[in-house]
Amino acid sequence: MLEVEKINVFYDDAQALWDVSFEVNQGEIVTLVGSNGAGKSTTLKAISGLVPPSTGEIRLEGTRIDRVPAHRIVEMGIAQIPEGRRLWPGLSVRENLELGAYTKAARAAREESMERVFKLFPRLHERQMQLAGTLSGGEQQMLAIGRGLLSKPKLLILDEPSLGLAPFLVDEVFETIQKINLQGMTILLVEQNVNYALAISNRGYVLETGRIVLSGSGKELLADEHVKTAYLGF
């Protein structure tokens, strides 16, 4: 579904990514692992059209998207759930969800998508008229994911979905990610909680100082000595 081939990304004169290549197949959960500053968020921004690569190619279902504007990439089927959720706190839960359905295709299926999200997150249904800024951290993360689903994506990108959440809410978030995947959604995940993320992933890639240094199945990476030492504290 997604092919990233030898992309290089710069911020002015500073290079952030060096020849980064990976792929995400339809129906998979794929995780990008790396420490702060490794280039994970830059990689996601490049895929979403926010930071175009200077060289290399990014393809969605065979079509190049590395020179496509960000709003068109959403229309083509990629939704990114940003780090920190970035909701509209002064709008209601329902209004935040509705704003996710701004493309033509998503607007046409808005009510159907809304019902799907409310079934996935019953608490959002209960609180649909409540201001987003008054929700708990876990509920805000549910809302951010729900807003992304309202855009009718083919590929859902999640950037640090467990950030700042209590441990029991982290469990709930990862269970939800698995549930969405089992319903047919392809997922690209960036997550500091490496143990959780790789445990639910089909495959993963390790990104260090802007370069892919290791790849394998989720189980293989969890058993890798470098991953254990660098990211799991073993």
Domain that holds residue 68: 1-77+188-234
What confidence score (pLDDT) does residue 71 get? 92
Tell me whether residue 10 is in a domain: yes
Tell me whether residue 144 is in a domain: no
- Look at phi and psi of residue 155 and say left if phi exceeds 0, alpha if psi is from -120 to 50, else beta: beta
Distance of alpha carbon 156 from alpha carbon 178, whole angstroms: 12
Q: What's the token pair of residue 1?
A: 């579904």
Distance of alpha carbon 124 from alpha carbon 114, whole angstroms: 10
Q: Residue 20 in contact with residue 6, Cβ under 8 Å?
A: yes
Tell me whether residue 116 is in a domain: no
What confidence score (pLDDT) does residue 234 get? 59
Tell me whether residue 178 is in a domain: no
Give the full edge-to-edge strand order of the sheet including 2-11: 14-24, 2-11, 55-60, 63-64
Q: Enumerate residues 6+ apart whose C-beta is below 8 A from 97.
A: 114, 117, 124, 128, 143, 146, 147, 150
What confidence score (pLDDT) does residue 128 get? 93
Q: What is the pLDDT along the chain (234 residues), one digit of tens a residue?
A: 999 999 999 999 999 999 999 999 999 999 999 988 899 999 999 999 999 999 999 999 999 999 999 999 999 999 998 887 789 899 999 999 999 888 888 888 898 999 999 999 999 999 999 999 999 888 898 899 999 999 999 999 999 888 878 888 888 889 989 999 999 999 999 988 899 899 999 999 999 999 999 999 999 999 999 999 988 775
Tell me whether residue 212 is in a domain: yes
Distance of alpha carbon 86 from alpha carbon 89, whole angstroms: 8
What confidence score (pLDDT) does residue 171 get? 86
Instruction: Domain count for the chain, please give it.
Output: 1
- CATH value at residue 32: 3.40.50.300
Tell me whether residue 102 is in a domain: no
CB 10: neighbour CB atoms within 10 A? 14
What confidence score (pLDDT) does residue 37 get? 86
Which secondary structure element, helix H or strand E, spans residue 30, and what is its range? strand 29-33
What confidence score (pLDDT) does residue 12 get? 92
Tell me whether residue 227 is in a domain: yes
Tell me whether residue 127 is in a domain: no
Q: Residue 1 in contact with residue 25, Cβ under 8 Å?
A: yes
What confidence score (pLDDT) does residue 61 get? 97
